[in-house]
Structure 1
Amino acid sequence: MPSAYIIANVTVTNPAQYEDYIKWSSAAMRAHGAEVCVRGGKVEVLEGDWTPDRLVILKFPGIDAAKAFDASPEYGKARAARQGAAIMRMVVVEGV
């Protein structure tokens, strides 16, 4: 089964409140065995007009595992903490 990646571009609008999201999302990642590939860090655009703010890339054993993480009560707690603190754009993509 191919691995899967959740890729998120986050625009943080309330950094202090976003810290709660980080705490709860980290717990959800641990609970669901997510491998953190990228979480923040410097971004340099090499081509095109995409200017992401904060990138996060998580690796899962497959699409079902990634979707289970997203739908989990653990991540639901993180999502609730993020309300009003950030704009989230998130996709899941099948890997190789």
Structure 2
Amino acid sequence: MAAYLIADVDVFDANAFEEYKRDVPATEQRYGGRYLGRGGAAKVLEGDWEPHRLVVVEFPDMAELMAWYNSPEYSRLKAIRERCARTRIIALEGIA
């Protein structure tokens, strides 16, 4: 069953973040990931959440999502992201 990576990214160094933004899609695609939303306009309908840059990526299943997240190719990019943004990320399993 599909699994979804959902991230709220608060970028504080936009120049450094460009490399991450440019290179990360190819790593996700190798694990079957595809963007459902990436940095578009967001509107809070309820609650006090103040999202920044929201990203939703669909993977074929949780195993592929975790394989990508723990992969050597993403590890390099994760280090870049951690230097230029504060991020909250969850992995959500879809329904059958």
- State the TM-score, normalized to the length of structure 2: 0.93
Point out where structure 2 has 5 or more consecutive residues left out of the alignment.
none
Report sequence identity in percent.
38
Instruction: Say if 2:22 is the partner of 1:23.
Output: yes
Q: Could you say which residue in structure 2 is the equivalent of 1:62?
A: 61
Please identify runs of 4+ aligned residues in structure 1 that moved more than 6 A: none
Q: Could you say which residue in structure 2 is the equivalent of 1:36?
A: 35
Point out where structure 1 has 5 or more consecutive residues left out of the alignment.
none
Q: Which residue type is aligned with residue 64 of structure 1?
A: A
Q: Could you say which residue in structure 2 is the equivalent of 1:74?
A: 73
Q: Which residue type is aligned with residue 24 of structure 1?
A: D
Per-residue deviation, residues 51-73 of structure 1 (Å, max 9, x unmatched): 11010000011111110110011
Instruction: Say if 2:55 is the partner of 1:51.
Output: no
Per-residue deviation, residues 11-35 of structure 1 (Å, max 9, x unmatched): 0000000001112212211222201
Q: Could you say which residue in structure 2 is the equivalent of 1:14?
A: 13
Alignment partners' CA distance in 2, 1:92 and 1:42:
21
Are the aligned partners of 1:38 and 1:55 in contact in 2 as well (CA < 8 Å)?
yes
User: What is the root-mean-square deviation of aligned Cα atoms in Å?
Assistant: 1.0
Are the aligned partners of 1:22 and 1:78 in contact in 2 as well (CA < 8 Å)?
no
SS for the counterpart of 1:23 is: helix
